[in-house]
């Protein structure tokens, strides 16, 4: 048979639970921040690629090399 948990230990466990919940929230926030930073970096790289492509062909895009325009219907 299990022995009863004392009120003192019960309070200690509740405090640990609160501290762990706080650590979990902090870790989740850090993960969201890292994901946002990664997405921002991807967007910056995509923008740089688009800008480089535009600078190499300032008159507009070439339908022959455009994957959207050259798709067969």
pLDDT tens series, the chain, 73 aa:
677 889 899 999 999 999 999 999 999 999 999 999 999 999 999 999 988 988 887 666 666 666 666 666 5
Q: How far, in Å, CA of 69 to CA of 55, rounded?
A: 20
End-to-end alpha carbon distance in the chain: 75
Q: How far, in Å, CA of 57 to CA of 68, rounded?
A: 17
Q: How far, in Å, CA of 40 to CA of 61, rounded?
A: 25
Structure-token pair, residue 28? 């989740």
pTM for the model = 0.60
Element (H, E) at 55: helix 7-56
């Amino acid at each position: 048979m299990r022995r009863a948990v004392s009120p003192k230990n019960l309070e200690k466990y509740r405090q640990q639970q609160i501290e762990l919940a706080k650590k979990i929230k902090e870790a989740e926030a850090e993960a969201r921040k890292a994901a946002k930073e990664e997405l921002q970096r991807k967007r910056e790289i995509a923008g740089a690629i688009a800008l480089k492509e535009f600078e190499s062909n300032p008159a507009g895009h070439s339908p022959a090399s455009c994957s959207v325009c050259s798709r067969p219907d």
